[in-house]
Amino acid sequence: MDKILLIEDSSEYQMLVEETLRAEYDIRTAGGVALALSEIEKTEFDLFIIDVGLPDGDGFQVCEKIKTNPKTSDVPVIFLTGQNETDKKVHGFSIGADDYVVKPFDPRELKARVSARLRAAKQAASGSNTLEAGGIRVDLIRQKTMISMNQKTTEVDLSPIELRLLISLLSREGQVLTRGELLKEAMHQEFCDHPYVNYDDDTEYYDAVRSTFEFMSHLINPA
């Protein structure tokens, strides 16, 4: 059973997270930075869930310790944060956080994000060069997409933009992505905040998002 360390000082959220995850995972808790670092020294964990605000510091300190320690640098970190804290989210990602869950959260979302992060970490640790889900397999080295249906496997031709979107969706299985996030994947992150990028004019990228979803929808509900 995967071990998860929840670093959270609120008894209410400790209880909620434990109730949400304890059926599938071994959950340990720490109410502050010092306790968390002590637990990390003693125990090997598979995932960390960290509240940003802690009584003896902040979750960023813990994340930095985790990501700069060779023994734990590959262990996924999910931050818990309040609404409208974009600056904190950006800072968290800059120091190595893998995901965020906004309080108050839907337990189903937390379960999905935890499952997705653990699955991605195991896939990375295995050195796998493929992504697979629901009959779709993407060879990341050859940049080829295969679908399996009715005991038959077929290669599918996708445009570079469609392939990039599909890889992003498969690697974030269980997560909800906004339209803006999908467009950023289609357009490459480095172009998204450029002052001359106008989402309304980029019909090529909208078409790629639409066609990728149509492709996946056809696999789920074949005619």
- Domain match, 85 and 117 both: yes
CA distance 101 to 89: 10
pLDDT tens profile 166-186: 777 777 766 777 766 666 665
Average pLDDT, integer, range 60-73: 93
- Domain match, 111 and 142 both: no
- Domain match, 146 and 43 both: no
**Residue 51 in this model has a pLDDT that exceeds 80:** yes
- Domain match, 117 and 184 both: no
CA distance 13 to 150: 45
Q: What is the pLDDT, as a whole number, of residue 131? A: 78
Specify the higher pLDDT residue, 82 or 92. 92
Q: What is the mean pLDDT of the chain?
A: 79
Specify the higher pLDDT residue, 5 or 80. 5
pLDDT tens profile 124-163: 776 667 777 777 888 776 778 888 777 778 888 777 777 7
Q: What is the pLDDT, as a whole number, of residue 213? A: 61
pLDDT tens profile 184-201: 665 544 334 433 334 444
- Domain match, 68 and 159 both: no
Q: Which residue range is the domain that position 12 belongs to? A: 3-125
**Residue 81 in this model has a pLDDT that exceeds 60:** yes
Instruction: With cut-offs at 50, 70 and 90, classify the pLDDT of residue 83.
Output: low
- Domain match, 137 and 103 both: no
- Domain match, 59 and 136 both: no
E runs forming strands in 64-208? 77-81, 99-102, 130-133, 136-139, 144-149, 152-156
**Residue 37 in this model has a pLDDT that exceeds 70:** yes
- Domain match, 101 and 157 both: no
Q: What CATH number is associated with residue 176?
A: 1.10.10.10
The domain boundary residue, chosen from 99, 125, 151: 125
pLDDT tens profile 5-32: 999 999 999 999 999 999 999 999 999 9
Specify the higher pLDDT residue, 219 or 7. 7
CA angle (208 as vertex; 206, 210 as ends), nearest 5 = 70
- Domain match, 101 and 142 both: no
pLDDT tens profile 100-133: 888 888 898 899 889 888 887 887 776 667 777 7
Q: What CATH number is associated with residue 60?
A: 3.40.50.2300
Specify the higher pLDDT residue, 87 or 200. 87
The domain boundary residue, chosen from 78, 106, 125: 125
- Domain match, 190 and 84 both: no
CA distance 65 to 61: 6
- Domain match, 110 and 137 both: no
- Domain match, 84 and 12 both: yes
Q: What is the pTM of this model?
A: 0.62
The domain boundary residue, chosen from 106, 125, 144: 125
How many domains does one find in the chain? Answer: 2
77 pairs with which residues across the strands? 48
CA distance 52 to 8: 8
Q: What is the pLDDT, as a whole number, of residue 189? A: 41
Q: What is the pLDDT, as a whole number, of residue 26? A: 96
